[in-house]
Structure 1
């Protein structure tokens, strides 16, 4: 009996050694992944994509699953689409996984507010179901990304490599990773706000510095339009002054506009979006100038415009005008 007992003992010890080694490897993977995530978030420089990529990359590594994908709602909140993936991700297929927000699967995830197991058969859209089935996914964990009570997207993980059944620990881990993604997204918003304040203070400083250094109006207006264009990311802009004797508007300083446009464009008070602002004394934001009947074309590539009245007391003496070649380029704030 000594022989069989010795073999059994050796098998048990080898299994214990393998389990211990596997545990050590898993611990090392966890430590490495969490270190990379914490480092990316601690050294956040405004690159949200990189922070989210680090989080998604950690999921297959730690959970030992085939892939992880992060989906976010688009600006219209009518669809969710993949923005980052790790593991066996087939980019050509995943880029086609644009899901309707009101669809059964997305609605189920949003309502759950916690990690939930989703079957591929729950997809109502045949095209989406076929794409997911084609890469071998039968079911997946989806963890909502919640920021200030609102679901902004979700993180998925599917197909354990060792064939195991998902556990409550898997659900808890996915909840942690989704929460980290939410923190990263919130940090990005805070970073952008701080950057905006810093850029605004810099612009104010530059204008005040020039005001102290010169009494030349053209020099001052050039600095103002330069700072405004850079601060708001416009592709072009101009400072337009009102001639009260003739009730006409003249471009006095410009950036990014075609050469000679200051002489070619002479608007009457009330004409065009700029003329309307000068007459009414109210700012205006136009997301698509091609749909605004007031617009007078200055450059054929311009798609959005923001115009703000310049006042001395109650009297409008000019308009600060900013343009962009993309629609809805400026925000109300």
Structure 2
């Protein structure tokens, strides 16, 4: 007859303490995420709790991109903060990508690099750790991210630790989705406000230079751009030049003009369609990769400014970290680009109208001046014109000024009975 082993009091007390700690951790997470809608704050709190629970040397939290095709590092504990947002992993790539694709956890107590799913990623912190546990973050039965708890030395993960980590991942999945929805709502409100302000700005009586500067500033805020710029086409030279940017970078502001078809912006104008680049520092067709590296630029979208089926310029938006521009974002940029194009076209028409009015006024003045000279000097029309032209050249005055002087002298002569010399 076998005797069932009765757990010791000390063992039961230890188990009770562990359960109490687990309940406390879950309570703290629940309290935190229920009172917090800011996504970045939620993610930071999650990694801190995971490190506390697992005694991990590091914790990395990845979220699925908007395009649902890659994971982006969004929060971490201990790795360098500059890595946030700059590390991406495709679904199925490495252990982290495998966890997201297969929607199941992976526990590796030692020699992580020996696992057949392991893939080396440049500068990825997990490659320097011996052991880690990786669990998918789920929301509404869909994967939204992955949490990795990592250890530099081999580690035996207890079942209760793994279960708690999975519970945390499931619990925060809904909070992450809520925070994402809140972020989307805020972005949508900002987009509506920006489009409204763009319309007001375009319809205002401001100088076109001020209008374009306001547009790039508002667009950069709406798109969270590292750099936003407007380049206009000089039809005479066939070159695009930077007309406005919110960037303070002198190197970017001094970028040489682009020919149509050159680099990304030139292609957008030539093809009259938006062009998206995932990483300008790795894009062969981007002409300023050294400048992009120095300025910390990554993803880019270039949208042509079109009016009456003509591309007259381009709006560029750069991010500081990898970003998959959505169809909605491109449409918003296109709407702003078209508004800017209309403002420029409107200003051009006004300037042309003013120039035509000026030319007509000068012509009328010259006709009156010629008429006076023909009457008073007995000159032919051609002789009168040549006299005005010669005096304009000799005195280095415009023909308008000479005509006005002749008419003024004629008026004085008529009033005084004098004679024009």
Say if 1:116 and 1:171, in contact at 8 Å, map to a contact too. no
- How far apart in 1 are the matches of 2:251 and 2:133? 60
Paired residue secondary structure (2:39): coil
1:239 and 2:230 are equivalent in the alignment: yes
- How far apart in 2 are the matches of 1:108 and 1:251? 44
Paired residue secondary structure (1:331): coil
Say if 1:46 and 1:192, in contact at 8 Å, map to a contact too. yes
TM-score (structure 1 length as normaliser): 0.62
Distance 1:141 1:329, change over 3 A: closer
How far did 1:318 drift?
A: 1.8
Paired residue secondary structure (1:221): helix
How far did 1:238 drift?
A: 2.0
Determine the structure 2 residue equivalent to 1:96.
none
- How far apart in 2 are the matches of 1:149 and 1:289? 33
- How far apart in 2 are the matches of 1:253 and 1:246? 19
Paired residue secondary structure (1:278): helix
Aligned counterpart in structure 2 of residue 276 of structure 1, from 253, 263, 267: 267
How far did 1:80 drift?
A: 9.6
Query: Unaligned regions of 5+ residues in structure 2, if any?
Result: 1-8, 81-88, 119-125, 328-421
Aligned counterpart in structure 2 of residue 145 of structure 1, from 137, 140, 149: 137
- How far apart in 1 are the matches of 2:317 and 2:222? 11
Say if 1:237 and 1:257, in contact at 8 Å, map to a contact too. no
How far did 1:263 drift?
A: 8.0
Q: Which has the higher strand share?
A: 1
Paired residue secondary structure (1:44): coil
TM-score (structure 2 length as normaliser): 0.51
Say if 1:146 and 1:152, in contact at 8 Å, map to a contact too. yes
How far did 1:288 drift?
A: 1.9
Paired residue secondary structure (1:241): strand
- How far apart in 1 are the matches of 2:192 and 2:232? 25
RMSD, matched Cα: 5.1
Determine the structure 1 residue equivalent to 2:37.
44
Determine the structure 1 residue equivalent to 2:84.
none
- How far apart in 2 are the matches of 1:31 and 1:58? 14
Say if 2:275 and 2:302, in contact at 8 Å, map to a contact too. yes
- How far apart in 2 are the matches of 1:28 and 1:318? 64
- How far apart in 2 are the matches of 1:257 and 1:72? 33
Distance 1:69 1:129, change over 3 A: closer
Distance 1:215 1:179, change over 3 A: same
Say if 1:40 and 1:54, in contact at 8 Å, map to a contact too. no
- How far apart in 2 are the matches of 1:44 and 1:309? 36
Determine the structure 1 residue equivalent to 2:306.
311
Rg larger in 1 or in 2?
2
- How far apart in 2 are the matches of 1:80 and 1:217? 41
Paired residue secondary structure (2:287): coil
Which deviates the most, 170-179 or 198-207?
A: 170-179
How far did 1:315 drift?
A: 1.9
Distance 1:27 1:189, change over 3 A: same
Aligned counterpart in structure 1 of residue 215 of structure 2, from 212, 215, 224: 224
How far did 1:311 drift?
A: 1.3
Say if 2:43 and 2:61, in contact at 8 Å, map to a contact too. no
- How far apart in 1 are the matches of 2:255 and 2:136? 55
1:321 and 2:316 are equivalent in the alignment: yes
Cα distance per residue 1:197-256 (max 9 Å; x no partner): 233233223323333543422221111111122222333332122233543333322221
Query: Unaligned regions of 5+ residues in structure 1, if any?
Result: 1-14, 61-65, 86-90, 93-98, 134-139
Say if 2:135 and 2:169, in contact at 8 Å, map to a contact too. yes
How far did 1:115 drift?
A: 6.2
Cα distance per residue 1:111-149 (max 9 Å; x no partner): 8856677654887369x999658xxxxxx9765433553
Correspondence 1:54-203 to 2 at 5 A:
55-56=49-50, 59=53, 70-72=59-61, 83-84=76-77, 113=103, 120=110, 124=114, 132=130, 143-147=135-139, 148-150=141-143, 152-154=145-147, 166=159, 173-203=164-194
Say if 2:268 and 2:275, in contact at 8 Å, map to a contact too. yes
- How far apart in 2 are the matches of 1:120 and 1:55? 23
How far did 1:176 drift?
A: 2.2
Distance 1:34 1:264, change over 3 A: closer
- How far apart in 2 are the matches of 1:322 and 1:109? 33
How far did 1:171 drift?
A: 6.6
How far did 1:262 drift?
A: 6.6
Distance 1:288 1:123, change over 3 A: closer
